[in-house]
Amino acid sequence: MYTWFIARRLFLHSSDAKKVSRSAIVIATAGVVVGVAVMIISVCVVLGFKGEIQQKVLGFGSHIQVLNYESLTRGVSSPIVIDEEIKSRLKGVPGVRHVQRFCVKPGMLKTLQSFRGVTFRGIGPEYDVSFLQDHLVEGRLPVFSDTTSTGDLLISQRLAQQLMLKCGDDIYAYFFEQNVRARRFTVCGIFSTNLTDFDNAIVYADLYTVKSLLKLDSEQYSGAEITIDDFNKLDEVSYLVSSEINHKQDAYGANYTSPTIRELYPQIFSWLDLLDMDVLVILILMICLSGFTMISGLLIIILERTNFIGVMKALGATNGSIRHLFLYFAVFIILRGLILGNLIAFALIFAQKHFGLIHLNPEIYYVNTVPLQVNVPYIIIINLATLFISLIALILPSYIVSNIHPARSIRFE
């Protein structure tokens, strides 16, 4: 291990080296610092962005929906029986955390100045309203009853601005069937998720009101939403749910089906999956940057220490041991770069998460600030991969010591 000891001594006294060598070490270290910091921040940004959008989409549609098969084929919501037996069977599926009923009905909100076509989403007392509560910007949530009509309505901030409404205002909703039906609601709360397609289309009311408008029997609903414990096991749980109820008929002859959130909104999740390719490109470029700066730095260091290499060979050192010496030297440089790169990355991540320094246009990116999600295993992999790939890239340049002859190199200046 004398090569490690000598490499450590050279590294600790690198400030005493020639000016060119010092510059090469600084540039090589900077390349690793920039590469690692950019890779960590890029991964955290993409994970945060995907997680933020995914959670918002799930807030509107949950992980799995149980629907009437005709709702998918015809594109119009058709009722299906969601009774206690069905709910019990769904709750018994491994991985299922929660089951909640819902009803949907298209309608139109109209004021004296404007009107908007929307989908009324009726939800009951068992509905998990944490998503709506987290994105509530004004007022309160409606009382989501399944036994009485409250007349409360929860609308998005976009709709409130378009219709010039505020909390406490009354608004008429119109429903077009054989005859036009009107119903008065009171805006009790305003929410905002910045998902334009959803915010412009969905308003929330109590389950009893929307179900009454649909004129459904007691156990009929538009469907049920299923929340699972782990999104990564979505396909596995979906298979179990489909095995339990798919292609079975309710008392009215309607067939059950259970599409996942990915199947209901494929364009959104395909777009999110494309972000992985962007991250892969960034990782490759940054690792190449780190590798190239390390290669150029190592070559300069070796050439400037030709005299030292000649002395080592004259004392009996082999080419292999000298190569190991310089590779150890490179490891010290890479490790210093990794430490500094991680410190810079975490400092920027901390500042962004707590102070929101970088803002985004929610009209385009669906979020107000750059979201970040720290994933420790990914960060460890980035560091180890950078160290490993950089060392692999340095093996070939290290063979230059084989061409250095002791007699000539000792006289080298």
Helix, strand, or coil (residue 229): coil
| CA R_g for the chain | 32
- Cα dist from 108 to 158, 185, 213, whole Å: 15, 12, 13
- Which of 30-44, 282-296, 356-370 has maximum average pLDDT? 30-44
**Residue 132, Cβ neighbours under 10 Å: how many?**
20
Q: Tell me what the mean pLDDT of segment 280-308 comes to.
A: 81
Q: How confident is the model at residue 402 (pLDDT cuts 50, 70, 90)?
A: low
- Looking from the CA of 391 toward its CB, the CA atoms found within 13 Å total 18
Task: Say which residues have a Cβ less than 8 Å from residue 243's Cβ, sequence separation at least 6.
Answer: none
DSSP string, 55-73: HHHHHHH-SEEEEEHHHHH
Tokens of 36: 């690692």
Distance CA 114, CA 261 (A): 33
Distance CA 225, CA 97 (A): 11
Task: Say which residues have a Cβ less than 8 Å from residue 61's Cβ, sequence separation at least 6.
Answer: 225, 261, 264, 265
Distance of CA 20 to the CA centre of its chain: 44
DSSP string, 339-360: HHHHHHHHHHHHHHHHH--SB-
Distance of CA 60 to the CA centre of its chain: 17
- Cα dist from 344 to 28, 36, 38, 49, 395, whole Å: 17, 9, 10, 21, 28
- Which of 53-57, 70-74, 152-156 has maximum average pLDDT? 152-156
Distance CA 2, CA 327 (A): 13
Distance CA 411, CA 178 (A): 102
DSSP string, 138-200: EE------SSS---EEEEEHHHHHHHT--TT-EEEEEEESSSEEEEEEEEEEEE----HHHHT
Helix, strand, or coil (residue 122): strand
Tokens of 6: 């000598």
Quote the pLDDT of residue 1. Answer: 62
Distance CA 397, CA 392 (A): 10
| Cβ–Cβ under 8 Å, residues 96 and 90 | yes
Quote the pLDDT of residue 17. Answer: 52
Distance CA 79, CA 102 (A): 10
Above 70 in pLDDT, residue 227? yes
Residue extents of the structural domains in the chain = 2-56+268-410, 64-259
- Cα dist from 129 to 23, 59, 340, whole Å: 59, 9, 43
For residue range 251-269, list pLDDT tens digits in order. 899 999 999 999 999 999 9
The pTM score is 0.84
Residue with tokens 């996942």: 260
Report the candidate in 157, 160, 194, 161 with the shortest Cα–Cα distance to residue 364.
194
- Looking from the CA of 27 toward its CB, the CA atoms found within 13 Å total 18
Distance CA 203, CA 157 (A): 11
Q: Tell me what the mean pLDDT of segment 89-113 comes to.
A: 94
Above 60 in pLDDT, residue 412? no
Q: Tell me what the mean pLDDT of segment 187-206 comes to.
A: 94
Q: Tell me what the mean pLDDT of segment 271-295 comes to.
A: 86
Distance CA 105, CA 92 (A): 29
| Cβ–Cβ under 8 Å, residues 145 and 207 | yes
Helix, strand, or coil (residue 331): helix
Return the amino acid letter for 356: G
Distance CA 208, CA 205 (A): 9
Quote the pLDDT of residue 119. Answer: 95
Distance CA 376, CA 288 (A): 23
For residue range 316-337, list pLDDT tens digits in order. 777 778 787 878 888 888 899 9
